[in-house]
Chains A and B, each alone.
Chain A
Amino acid sequence: MEATLSRPAARCSCLLKTTTPSTSRVLLLPSNQQQTRQKSTRARHKASLNIPPHPSFLSNPSPSSSSQSGSTTLIFNPPSSAPSVFQTPFKFLPKTDPRRRATLAKNLFSSSVTTNFATQPVDVSSLPTIFDDRSPATTPKNHSLTKEDVEEMRRLRLADPVKNSVLSLARQFGCSVMFVMMCVQAGKEHRDKVHVEPHAAARERWGPKKREAKEERKRRMEMLLRGEI
């Protein structure tokens, strides 16, 4: 252990660890102090392959176990792996489950959770959302449409489905797109005209490669839903 740390690269990495943020993963050699090696010859440098052991294996007793110095300590260093479906999230545990009581306090008094990447807990709200339908633009403002409103919506949509699209109706009545679609459906002709025919015409123009690629993509999605990829 000691010998490993006395090697120059290891010492350098230890130095780096104290100075650079812990998230950086690249070993940067300060060029002005040491002999510089180019990337092409770096792999040959044996010392650079001599990676120091994981911090948890170093003889650094944690403060909790320092009271019993010299005793064996528990090293918890699980490998990075995808979570299993058999680890039930806290929210999914039923009220009677003993695991719920065990982790209740921990979850109650912390507003942030640990992600798999950072050593520091990260605030969940800082993570970027994707495909979020509840952005302010589409959030329904009007939750109390009257029966007449719905009737009017139906009349407009059936009268001219091109002009009164779902989105424009949602904007007009201040409700969500989903609500419009729940209230009224355009006729089959309109659906064919908008959704089927243009695509059918485009499909006609597909060559064999594109057709195959599209079919493969469809097949991949089915595999995904079956949990095969």
Chain B
Amino acid sequence: MAVKALHAVSQGRNGVGAFILQCKKIDLHYCDWAGSSRGMNGFIKSLLPKFAAAHPQIEFTVSPRPTKHPVAIGHYINGRSKPICVRNMEPYEILKKLELLRDASGEKLKKVTKPVRSINQSVRGIWSPYHGNGMSL
């Protein structure tokens, strides 16, 4: 055989074809006694059922953590987690935080300087000094 084959594995691009929400689980911890959990307790009673029903992709767990501040922890597909302390927050502020957890990708935060990142080949090609008509000055 003249041509030998090399092996490569295809690369996935989330959102091309199918979109998978990266947040897979959110843990909510509360305390029955402490005052810092008042907003969290209200959130769990009033807002959480609706929020959880709107996001069936995310697994929610609610568990007590006595004598500690309330926390919301998001777990992501890439294996990382994002904990947010929600002490003394109002229910709607906590809802904002949960939306933040839902929308996060789980990656470390980094500054995005380039507007587009893609693994597609450039349509116009990479500039090469050896090709083209050149521009005479």
Residues of A within 8 A of B (CB): 13, 16-17, 20, 22-27, 51-52, 54-55, 78-84, 116-119, 226
Contact = CB atoms under 8 A, between A and B. Distances in A.
Contact of B125 (A23, A51, A84, A119): A84
Contacts of A23: 134, 136
Given A116-B131, A226-B6, A81 B136 contact: no
A27 B136 CA distance: 8
Nearest to A24: B136
Contact of A81 (B6, B128, B134): B128
Classify chain B: how many residues form its interface, as a range. 10 to 19
Contacts of B131: 80-83, 116
25 contacts: A13-B137, A17-B137, A24-B136, A25-B135, A25-B137, A27-B137, A52-B137, A55-B135, A78-B132, A79-B124, A79-B127, A80-B128, A80-B129, A80-B130, A80-B133, A81-B124, A81-B126, A81-B132, A82-B125, A82-B128, A82-B130, A84-B121, A116-B133, A117-B133, A118-B133
B121 to A, nearest CB: 7
A17 B136 contact: yes
A222 B35 CA distance: 70
Among all A-B residue pairs, the 4 with the closest Cβ atoms: A80-B132, A81-B125, A80-B131, A116-B131
Given A79-B125, A226-B6, A54 B135 contact: yes
Given A25-B134, A83-B131, 18 more contacts: A17-B136, A23-B134, A24-B136, A25-B136, A26-B137, A54-B135, A55-B135, A78-B124, A79-B127, A79-B132, A80-B128, A80-B133, A81-B126, A81-B132, A82-B126, A82-B128, A84-B121, A116-B133
Interface of B: 6, 121, 124-137
Contacts of A117: 132-134
Contacts of B130: 80, 82, 116
